[in-house]
Amino acid sequence: TVIVSPVSYYEVTLRPAEHPRWTNANVKQCVSVGVCLRSWKQRPRGQQAGWCKYSWGLHGDDGNLFHGSGMHHSVEAFSRPFGAGDTIGCGVNYQNNTIFYTLNGQLLGEAFSLHGPPFRRRLIPMIGLDTEWSVKINLGREEFVYHGLPPYSPTTLAKLADYTIAQGWIRTAPPARGDGKIAIRGSIIRRLMAATVQQ
């Protein structure tokens, strides 16, 4: 039996720098929190979340949402600016294909709608840093500040593999010999087992 959730979620806590070096108070520090396609890591680095079409982000310097928006063009205003002392959460809801945010344990709401199954997109956390603040990332090893996540539900690896196949989230070419469906199911179960062990 494995425990699954319809939501992937993580939180970022920002803290003041112990030894500040930025002396210009007029310079805005910015942390962007979001998700990106796994393939985005092959793109040029040095970008905040949401600046290209491969990522979605909420920026702390202005509280605006960005997706494929370029450096100076936000999608829309979404929250108050955030910085040192705040905890920002970002989640992907697989049930309705949306990305949502929280701030200091309070739900800000849905920010983006995704097209196509998120699993097929292979979304991973993304954080952009233009700051001297310290950053703590919680991927679930500790209790989240936000307590509104849906409950986990138990299932078997076999059922999860069947559901994954039915949704088309994993495509595996059938082997040349034997029962292709059984082999595909077995291959997915092995992947799910490996992912479960890694967590």
pLDDT tens digits, one per residue of 44-74: 567 788 888 888 999 999 999 998 876 666 6
The answer, yes or no, to whether residue 174 has pLDDT greater than 60, is no
Q: H or E element: which one contains 198?
A: helix 180-198
Structural domain ending residue among the three candidates 86, 108, 138 = 138
Tell the residue number behind the tokens 């040349």, with chain if given: 176
pLDDT of amino acid 138: 94
Give the structural domain span for 72.
Answer: 2-138
CATH of the domain at 93: 2.60.120.920
pLDDT of amino acid 93: 87
Residue 112 lies in a domain: yes
Residue 148 lies in a domain: no
Residue 146 lies in a domain: no
Residue 150 lies in a domain: no
**Following CA atoms 44, 48, 49, 52 in sequence, which dihedral angle do they give, to the nearest 10 degrees?**
-50
pLDDT of amino acid 4: 60
Regarding pTM above 0.85, the answer is no
Q: Are residues 183 and 105 in the same domain?
A: no
Q: Are residues 134 and 162 in the same domain?
A: no
Cβ–Cβ < 8 Å for 60, 34? no
The answer, yes or no, to whether residue 112 has pLDDT greater than 80, is yes
pLDDT of amino acid 183: 54
Q: Are residues 175 and 111 in the same domain?
A: no
Residue 149 lies in a domain: no
Structural domain ending residue among the three candidates 106, 138, 170 = 138
Domain count, the chain: 2
pLDDT of amino acid 135: 92
Residue 145 lies in a domain: no
Residue 95 pLDDT level (bands cut at 50, 70, 90):
confident
Residue 106 lies in a domain: yes
**Helical spans, DSSP H, in 58-107:** none
The answer, yes or no, to whether residue 1 has pLDDT greater than 60, is no
Give residue-wise pLDDT tens across range 115-152: 765 455 678 888 888 888 889 999 988 999 999 988 76
DSSP 152: P
Q: Are residues 78 and 44 in the same domain?
A: yes
* Between 33 and 131, residue with greater pLDDT: 33
Average pLDDT rounded to a whole number, residues 2-27: 77
**Helices then strands (H, E): number in the chain?**
3, 12
pLDDT of amino acid 94: 79
Residue 161 lies in a domain: yes
Average pLDDT rounded to a whole number, residues 90-105: 91
pLDDT of amino acid 199: 41
Taking the CB of residue 195, how many other CB atoms lie within 10 A of it? 10
Q: Are residues 76 and 36 in the same domain?
A: yes
